[in-house]
Chain A
Amino acid sequence: MSSYYEASARERLHALFDRGSFHEFLPPSERVVSPHLVQLDTPAAFDDGVIVGRATLDGRPVLVAAQEGGFMGGAVGEVHGAKLVGLLERARDEKPAAVLLLVESGGVRLHEANAGLIGVSEIMRAVLALRSEGVPVVVLDGGQFGCFGGMGIVARLCDAIVMSEEGRLGLSGPEVIETTCGVEEFDSRDRALVWRTVGGKHRYLLGEADAIVADDISAFRAAAIHLLDTKPDLSLEALTAEHERLGARIEKFGALRDALDIWSALGVEKPENLPLLEADAFRAAVDGKRA
């Protein structure tokens, strides 16, 4: 087992795709850094916290990006965002089997907040344009910083999401909510509460994550291979069906206060035991119970 959670973005890329197949565009040797961080006397990175390139996965050509949580929490600035947009547009030209996004991001980088926000908006538009042309986009989420802010929206625009239990997905992070609304609204130090609210298991039970895997790079790889043949569908029928599902979710769960209540409403016996289960046992325990 090789932990996805503990690995750096580069380690994930090299271990997840076919051996030796990864080729980076605009590598660190090109020195494309954020000019805005320098202006604020903040250290810059030669890849601006995101690595983009091509690889093969199970022999099939894919375009890939990996955000590095170790650099400013994977937050999106002007250069970081533009690299992702360029990759997604390249996919419109090349039509690879899929684009894989190894997300790990707190969202917009505050040091260049306006550029980051606009950059996220451009990523959103680029994902939607790409999917409209039939190329699937698959998200892998299992890093230390989770996937929040605008990147949390981006992830849900894609065709499929693979998460580990350690992966987290949301919009406003627990710390942000606690700081703004108080500890009684969201205690960000209550790890069990955080995991069951924004963690992989809850996302899988809600039907937002398509696969839940152990914290192991090879497990992410296997799940990603399995999702390569996903067909993007942005038709009126597909979005009407999604609309009905999201409406039903508010109706059924909107008054519930905790993930445990939702799991219980889904018919899970002993929901309090779910956080303790390994990925395989968890999948078995919730089989047929997902929303």
Chain B
Amino acid sequence: MDAKILLSRLFPTGFDVDFDGQFFHGTGESARGKVAIVGSVDAAPIGVELAFRMAGDVLTVVRDHPDRPILLLVDTQGQRLSRRDELLGINGYMAHLAKCLQLARNRGHRIVGLVYSEAVSGGFLASSLLADRCHALPEAQVRVMNLPAMSRITKIPLERLEELSTSSPVFAPGVMNYLQMGAVHSLWEGDLSQRLAESLDAPAEGDVRREWGEERGGRKLARPVAERVRHAAG
């Protein structure tokens, strides 16, 4: 979905958003008051500049607008792959963005993520996966890597991966897999402004994604294994 159409469906009573290249930011009027918006378009590769810019926006919201919820609308093909980004320490820029979002969370800002187009690998890690709740449109594409590339690297025949991906959500691309594994809380359909209000009303409950993954049968070990380590004798 086009970002402007998305914004008009999320904020039918109005929004004020600036687009600058692949980055956009601004505010929208939700049923629960003003919401800060930070996002990207055109499956933007997330490099040092974009991560830095998004972090700066989050800091501004924290500084100037206490309690204002933050909505992440990030469309990304993943981290930018370049020697220059590595030279400058791209992982540190992404970590900085994550820290800024944690600061917002610690100060009571709600953080909602909506994958409206694409979310891939490191770009997903540095954005929507840091929200209190990450949602997605049904047509969204979410993945680490496509199966042919995965087959080349793991040396597992493509046919075998394709066959297994029909019964296992654990490695193949697909938003339904992420839903089943608990990383995506829910798919948003119908009145998107209503879905946003519902997400903003949800209690802040810490990171409970592995509980959702277990309940939905997509990730059965993450919760019990973490629990055993947490409470092991000794």
Asked whether, in the complex, the Cβ of B144 is within 8 Å of the Cβ of A246, the reply is no
A39 at interface (Cβ–Cβ under 8 A)? Answer: yes
Instruction: Output the least CB separation between A80 and chain B (Å).
Output: 9
Instruction: Output the least CB separation between B79 and chain A (Å).
Output: 6
6 further A-B contacts with Cβ under 8 Å, apart from A83-B225, A171-B79, A239-B96, are A108-B121, A114-B178, A118-B213, A129-B102, A243-B56, A243-B100
- Residues from chain B with a CB closer than 8 A to the CB of A43 are none
- Residues from chain A with a CB closer than 8 A to the CB of B130 are 121, 124-125
Interface string of A80-105 (1 = CB under 8 A from B): 01110111011001000000000000
Q: A85-B226, A153-B91 are known contacts. Are A114 and B52 too (CB-CB below 8 A)?
A: no
B residues bordering A, Cβ < 8 Å? 48-49, 52, 55-56, 59, 62-63, 79, 81-96, 98-100, 102-103, 106, 121-122, 124-126, 129-130, 143-145, 150, 153-154, 156, 160, 164, 168-172, 177-178, 181-183, 206-207, 209-210, 213, 219, 221-223, 225-232, 234
Q: A110-B171, A171-B85 are known contacts. Are A250 and B49 too (CB-CB below 8 A)?
A: yes
Q: How long is the Cα–Cα vector from A176 to B85 in the complex, in angstroms?
A: 13
Q: How long is the Cα–Cα vector from A26 to B16 in the complex, in angstroms?
A: 52
Of the A-B pairs whose beta carbons lie under 8 Å apart in the complex, a sample of 6, sorted by A's number, is A25-B228, A40-B154, A111-B171, A113-B150, A172-B81, A186-B86
> Interface-forming stretch among A4-12, A214-222, A254-262?
A254-262
Asked whether, in the complex, the Cβ of A86 is within 8 Å of the Cβ of B178, the reply is no
Instruction: Output the least CB separation between A183 and chain B (Å).
Output: 11
Instruction: Output the least CB separation between A87 and chain B (Å).
Output: 6
Instruction: Output the least CB separation between A50 and chain B (Å).
Output: 10
Asked whether, in the complex, the Cβ of A83 is within 8 Å of the Cβ of B229, the reply is yes
Asked whether, in the complex, the Cβ of B160 is within 8 Å of the Cβ of A40, the reply is yes
Q: How long is the Cα–Cα vector from A206 to B93 in the complex, in angstroms?
A: 13
Q: Which of A23, A42, A132, A206 contacts B89 (CB 8 A)?
A: A206
Asked whether, in the complex, the Cβ of A234 is within 8 Å of the Cβ of B106, the reply is yes
Q: Which of A147-185 contact B (CB under 8 A)?
A: 149-150, 152-157, 169-172, 174, 176-177, 180-181, 185
Q: How long is the Cα–Cα vector from A239 to B59 in the complex, in angstroms?
A: 8
Q: Which of B52, B89, B171, B222 contacts A82 (CB 8 A)?
A: B222
Closest B residue to A161 by CB, please name it. B92
Asked whether, in the complex, the Cβ of B144 is within 8 Å of the Cβ of A117, the reply is yes
Q: Is the interface of A mostly helix, strand, loop or mixed?
A: helix
Q: How long is the Cα–Cα vector from A257 to B89 in the complex, in angstroms?
A: 13
Q: How long is the Cα–Cα vector from A78 to B79 in the complex, in angstroms?
A: 22
- Residues from chain B with a CB closer than 8 A to the CB of A119 are 222
- Residues from chain A with a CB closer than 8 A to the CB of B171 are 36, 110-115
Interface string of A1-33 (1 = CB under 8 A from B): 000000000000000000000010110000010
Closest B residue to A202 by CB, please name it. B87
- Residues from chain B with a CB closer than 8 A to the CB of A113 are 143-145, 150, 170-171
- Residues from chain A with a CB closer than 8 A to the CB of B207 are 122, 125-126, 129
Among A150, A153, A197, A203, find the residue whose CB has the most chain B CB atoms closer than 10 A. Answer: A153
Q: Which of A40, A152, A239, A259 contacts B91 (CB 8 A)?
A: A152
Instruction: Output the least CB separation between A45 and chain B (Å).
Output: 14
